[in-house]
Structures are given as C-alpha cells and as structure tokens.
Amino acid sequence: MSNVIQVVAFVVDKYNMTLYKPDGTEHLIKQGDPLLRQVLEIITPIIQDGGIAEVDLGQHEDLGKEFKDFEAKTGGLVQFFKVLKADAEKFLAQLTGNTDIVAPLALGVIPSKNPAVTRVEVKRKDGDAAEASKAKQNAAINEVLANAKPTSSTEFKAPMADQHDEKGQLVSEGTETIIAKVGDTVIPGVEKLAGQFEYASKQGNSTIGMENFLRRLGVVIKERGHSVEDLLKFLERGDLPIADDGSFVAYKILRKRGDHFVDCHSGKVPQRVGSYVHMDHSLVDPNRRNECSNGLHVARRGYIGNFSGDVCTLIKVNPEDVIAVPEYDANKMRVCGYHIIDLIADSDYKSLKRDNAMTDNMAAKIQLGKALAGEHIGITEKVKITEQMGGGVQVTQVTNRKEAKQAVAKQKATTKKRVAEAIKTKAKDVQSDDAVDPTKLAKAVAKQKAAGGSAREQKALEMFAKVSEADTPRAKWAFANDLVNFKKAAKVSWEKLGISALQGDNLVSIAKTEPVFTAPVEEKKPAKAPAKVQTKAVTKPVKATPAAQPAKVDREALLRGLMVKVVKGDKKAAQEALLLKKKSKKSWEALGLTKAEGEKIVKLAAK
C-alpha cells in the first residue's frame, strides 16, 4: 500500500521523528520504529541540499501481514490478537498461579520436644484441582480476549517493541503485544516470531512445526512463564526455522578429544553426534541478570564469532528444556538439555563465524532441511551431568550408534530431499530498532556540511570515478548504468550530485547502449590461421603479443560488469559469466569475484 508524502524539514528528539510537509502539517514516527532510520537515510541529504524529499511510508501499513497470512494458512487453528501488554501480563499472572506472598508471621511456642500432634484435614474450597485449574485458565483467556483486536481488524498491526539505548537503559516501552491462541492455549509476545511465521507461510512448508511449537510453549508457560519470554527473545533474531516436531535448531561449539568431543568450559563432558546431553533443571541458573552461569549453553549465529572451539554442531533443543536467556545478551541461552544431530562442515563453520548464514550453499540447505524434517540420527546415548562444572557425568547407551546411522541412511534414501533456507531475521528491520541519538545525528549532519557536499554527492562522485576508470566498454556501461539509476532514485539534478549536465548527458548515452558481449575465445583465433602468422606484416605484432597481458584485466572487468546484471536477476548475464569463467580455466577468486558471487552466478545460470 503506497503512502507517499513530501517532506521539507524534520526534527528528531528522544521520543519521535517529526516530518514537516510543505503545507505545514506534521507526521510522527516513533523512536524505535525501523521506518525511522530508513526515512532518515533518504531525506537527510535531500533536505540538507535544500530540496523537497518524497518518501513512501506504505511499507509501514503492512506490518503484521505475516500473522494474517499464517492464520489463514492454518485455517484458523492458530489465531492472533493484538492486546495491551498490561492485559497479557495479568493473564500470565493468573495462569501461572502467582499470588501475593504471605507476610512473615510467627505464632505459638516452639517446643524443645515434639508434642502430641493434632491432625487436621484441609480441603480445597474450590473443589477438584484439575477442574478448578481448567476453569481458571478459561476465565483468564476470556478476560485477555475481551478487548483484543483480531487480524481482521484495521487496527491489527505489529506493535512497537521496548526501546533501549546503547547502555541497555529503557528509552521507551511498548504498550501492546501480539498473542497467539492455539486451542485453549494463549502465548503472549509472539511478535518476536514474525520471521518464523512469514517463513512458514511463504516457503511452501507446512505450518505444522510452528503449530507444534506453540502447543509445547503452552505447557511451559504454565510452569515457567519467564522461560517462554526468554525463548522468544532468543528466537527473535535467530535465523534457523522451527523444526516440524516443535523443537528449535541452534548451534553448539565443542572441542575435539580423540574420537569424541567435549564441552569448551570444563572439558569433562564427553559427547558426539547422537548424544543427548542433559542435567536436572535445578542445576541451571534461572537468573537472567547472570550472563555466564551454571547450565548448558547453546547459541544462535550472532554469538559464534565470539566463541572459540574446534567444531560447530547442529543441535535440537526442546522448548521444555529452556531455562534462561541473559538479559543483555540474547545470542545465547541456558538450557537443561540438547540433542546433537549433525556436524557442520568446516567451511560453513568459518562462514558462521563471519556472521553469514549456514545456508550459503546447497549442501548446507539440504542438511538444514533434513534437520527440520527429523531426518537425522536419533538419541544414541544420554550424557547426564549431576554436578556443577561438568562433574558427576553419567553416560547411558540408548541404541547402537551404527544401527542408528544405518536407520537414518535408509530413511534418507526413501525420502524426498527437503531444502531449507535460513530466515532473514526481522528483528532489526520489522520489529524494532535502536533509538536514534538526536545529538549524534546533529553532529553527523554538521560534519557533512563542513566537509563540503553531502554523503549522496560523495557517493555519486565515487561512482563517476568508476565510470571514468573502467578498462572495458562493458564495465564502463555497467558503472554508468549504476550511476544513472542512483540519480533516478535520488530524484535530483546532476548538479546536485556534483556532476555537470554535459557529463550527465554523456553518462545517459553510455548507459543506453549495451556493448555486444565478445567471448575471450577470440584470443585463440590467430593460432587457427598459420598462413597469416608467417607473413612479415603480422610477425611483429604477434611477437609482442600485446593483447595477452591485458586479457586478464579485461576478463575481470567483464565479469564485474556481468555481476551487476546478475544481482538484478539477469539469467543471460549469468550464463555469459559462467562461459567466461570456463574459458579462462581459473577460479572465481582469481577472476576478481568472491566464492559467494560465483555460486550466485552458477545458481542463476542453471534456472
């Protein structure tokens, strides 16, 4: 839905960004709304140069669409509602049975010897415990839904999350939340799972995994409501989808020790692919304020780069085994159990340490798909930790490891391969964003003015330099196209970008005419015509072979130009790039491209 407005000025304070339209009216964007930074990046250089900026706020209107789509796909088995946070918190208090603490009281004389005991039978006033609990739960659900807004309501949009500054201090607190209703279970705070719901709706996968996950959360929330809140916080920026059985996939870093692995902390807990490592939940510290404490630690991608170990394993964690997530580091959590289902390849581990998704290649996508579908090794042994610091380890064999692996191999042979992609996390670009510091913003704008010219002008001049320095016609054409498109997006004149009108016309002319692709196979043509080589007129240039040296430069420039089109989805450009690479008999890296860019070319060319 498009919602374009013109902006002539803006003010950012601690709580809002105020956009001023030409007619004097205002439009507010709250601090923490991801739209704020996006709008800021667009309008700052334009308004700084004295122009009028046009910005489309339409994307803000669609927030919450992932919940509507998921609800529709489940046929209403899962329903979403937007409610006040206060109502959700009250519901949790009623559900978990939290009551006021009785004040300290002492009555009677404490004897030195045991007196005669008078037995008194205390009966519950509310009758059968199970029925009372059920009635209490239904009443709590009805109460929280009384003022809720369903997905069909025009007021149903993703709520604003709590906003914190760089020191973790609360800047502004969101007042609303989204709850999911599955049967007689209600889960608050599911706006944190927007990416998971969208993935399940759009990837062609069944919604069964998320449905099972929500049902399992419903059991946990009655016992440890804070654990559910922590789990949602952990998954908010995680990039691995929920498995079909309702468990979630995470990473565990371990060290090698002979034919098995050990934990990195104590080095006392032996484990391998197939192990279920666990401890009693009483041994796990539930205090969120303690960042490093007792318990089994598992991680999402954002933490792996900060942790050293020999191998990275793929694990499954049951929602019931989650205990706590550190208040100031949601990249890891403390659990009381995890099942090691696979070993991640060294190359993928290195990619994860650079904070890249593990599904950058087809093998990893298939590996993740199998993990989600349950096509992995079962529990072959249980490794129980009975003391702190990895002490009192008890290992119990459940099944023969060889038999377990054979069973999985047989299942894989008869099952269609399922490919899974990592989720593009929405925590930063949909749910919330860090508050923009007005003081820092003012200093940044002042610095740009002092330096002369806007950041946009600087960018344009850098792009213009690439056009001027291009080694081949095709590279020049590609860079010119980029600059012309940049100018169109900025909606300003060439002069505003620091480029003269005459230079601008020349750029447009270059961008209009795409050079004809010439495969490097022509370098071999002189060898096919020996008669010409023998003549004196041709002998001298052949001896010098001036084209041989620049060939590499031309090839790299050609590939870089083709890569610009590949990024835009041009299949023909991908096929040309692949042909160029095959003719050169060199790696992508030797030709000036990264491995990831090469894989993208191969994938697009094969479509």
Contacts of 401 (CB under 8 A, 6+ apart): 272, 274, 380, 381
Higher pLDDT, 123 or 56: 56
Indicate whether 1 pLDDT > 80. no
The torsion angles phi and psi of 467, rounded to 5 degrees, stand at -65, -45
Burial of 599 (0-12, 13-18, 19+ CB in 10 A): middle
pTM: 0.57
pLDDT at residue number 541: 47
In the Cβ-directed half-sphere of 61, how many Cα atoms lie within 13 Å?
8
Could you tell me the pLDDT band of residue 550, with boundaries at 50, 70 and 90?
Answer: very low
Specify the range with the lowest mean pLDDT, choosing from 20-34, 121-135, 151-165, 305-319: 121-135
pLDDT at residue number 63: 59
pLDDT tens for 316-354 read 999 999 998 887 777 888 999 999 999 999 989 988 888
Distance set, CA 96 to CA 133, 190, 224, 226, 327 (Å): 10, 18, 8, 10, 22
Structure tokens that stand for 424 in this block: 């593009």
Structure tokens that stand for 42 in this block: 């667009």
pLDDT at residue number 117: 57
Could you tell me the pLDDT band of residue 532, with boundaries at 50, 70 and 90?
Answer: very low
> Are 208 and 165 spatial neighbours (Cβ–Cβ below 8 Å)?
no
Q: Which of 136-140, 393-397, 521-525, 571-575 has the highest mean pLDDT?
A: 393-397
Q: Round to whole Å and give the CA distance between 66 and 194.
A: 6
b/e code 513-551 from CB counts within 10 Å (16+ = b): eeeeeeeeeeeeeeeeeeeeeeeeeeeeeeeeeeeeeee
Q: What's at 159, amino acid-wise? A: P
Could you tell me the pLDDT band of residue 256, with boundaries at 50, 70 and 90?
Answer: very high
Q: Round to whole Å and give the CA distance between 504 and 508.
A: 6
pLDDT at residue number 121: 59
Indicate whether 539 pLDDT > 90. no
Dihedral Cα 445, 451, 452, 454, nearest 10 deg = -40
Mean predicted lDDT score pLDDT of the chain: 77
Alpha-helix residue ranges (DSSP H) falling in 260-326: 301-304
The owner of tokens 């279920």 is 276
Structure tokens that stand for 380 in this block: 């072959």
Q: What's at 373, amino acid-wise? A: A
Q: Taking residues 109-134, what's their average pLDDT?
A: 58
Could you tell me the pLDDT band of residue 42, with boundaries at 50, 70 and 90?
Answer: confident
Could you tell me the pLDDT band of residue 592, with boundaries at 50, 70 and 90?
Answer: confident
Strand partners, 298: 333
Q: Taking residues 553-570, what's their average pLDDT?
A: 74
Could you tell me the pLDDT band of residue 419, with boundaries at 50, 70 and 90?
Answer: low
Indicate whether 139 pLDDT > 90. no
Strand partners, 256: 261
Cβ neighbours of 362 (radius 10 Å): 13
Q: Round to whole Å and give the CA distance between 196 and 200.
A: 6
Structure tokens that stand for 292 in this block: 């490093």
| Domain assignments of the chain as residue spans, ordered by start | 1-60, 65-98+129-219, 224-423, 467-605
pLDDT at residue number 98: 52
Q: Could you tell me which of 455, 457, 453, 463 has the C-alpha nearest to residue 484?
A: 463
Strand partners, 395: 383
User: What SS3 state is found at 171?
Assistant: strand
pLDDT at residue number 261: 96
Please report, rounded to a whole number, the percentage of residues in the chain having pLDDT higher than 90.
19
pLDDT at residue number 311: 95
Indicate whether 525 pLDDT > 60. no
What are the respective helix, strand and coil percentages of the chain, to the nearest 5?
A: 45, 15, 35
pLDDT at residue number 133: 64
> Are 68 and 14 spatial neighbours (Cβ–Cβ below 8 Å)?
no
Contacts of 94 (CB under 8 A, 6+ apart): 136, 139, 140, 143
Indicate whether 161 pLDDT > 60. no
Q: Taking residues 459-486, what's their average pLDDT?
A: 81
Q: Taking residues 476-497, what's their average pLDDT?
A: 85
Contacts of 347 (CB under 8 A, 6+ apart): none
Q: Round to whole Å and give the CA distance between 412 and 418.
A: 10
Could you tell me the pLDDT band of residue 480, with boundaries at 50, 70 and 90?
Answer: confident
Q: Round to whole Å and give the CA distance between 219 and 246.
A: 12
Burial of 106 (0-12, 13-18, 19+ CB in 10 A): exposed
